[in-house]
Amino acid sequence: MATNINVSIRYSSFLPVLLEIMKTTHGDVLELGAGVFSTPILHWLCQKEKRNLLTMESDWTWFYFACQYYRTDYHKFIYAKRWNYDENTIKKSWDVVLVDHSPSQRRVTEVRLLANLAKYIILHDSNQSADRTYRYSTIYPLFKYRYDLLKVEPTTTVLSNFVDLKDFNPL
């Protein structure tokens, strides 16, 4: 089956944040939305350390693209068609959660579920101008700590209720 996936280098702007957080954690990782940058990097980092990685995707093309190459004992995939899934699937402790899935209005739904379960939640596309699309401003009050990587567009935000981010500096 051929896949037709459009990719932009801008899709990788979260990488400095993700790599820095992955260096400082050792637990389970949740990837909401498969991607040409995030999925291979998370796969290999988790495989090396024998960390559990769950990738959830609602678009069949992206799901098929990712799981055909990266499914292992440590890397599981869920096809979350229309994001109809059992919430208990993700309502557990995670060290790292990458939020970069579609449709855009679903992002805050999953963040609310994970606010007090995930050590770090990484939000891609957190530009102020994108707030009308992603509505991240509605979930910021749920968190004690916040870091914004503004040097790269689209911007990336890290949220936590467990780790003070005042000294976080991925660049």
Domain residue ranges of the chain, discontinuous segments joined by +? 10-160
State the Cα–Cα distance between residues 42 and 55, nearest whole angstrom.
Answer: 10
pTM as predicted: 0.94
The two tokens of residue 116 are 């007090």
Spatial distance between the Cα atoms of 138 and 135, rounded to a whole number of angstroms = 6
CATH number of 10-160: 3.40.50.150
Q: How far is CA 4 from the centre of its chain?
A: 22
For each of the chain's 171 residues, which pLDDT tens digit applies?
445 566 666 778 999 999 999 999 999 999 999 999 999 999 999 999 999 999 999 999 999 989 988 999 999 999 998 898 889 999 999 999 999 999 999 999 999 999 999 999 999 999 999 999 999 999 999 999 999 999 999 999 999 999 999 999 998
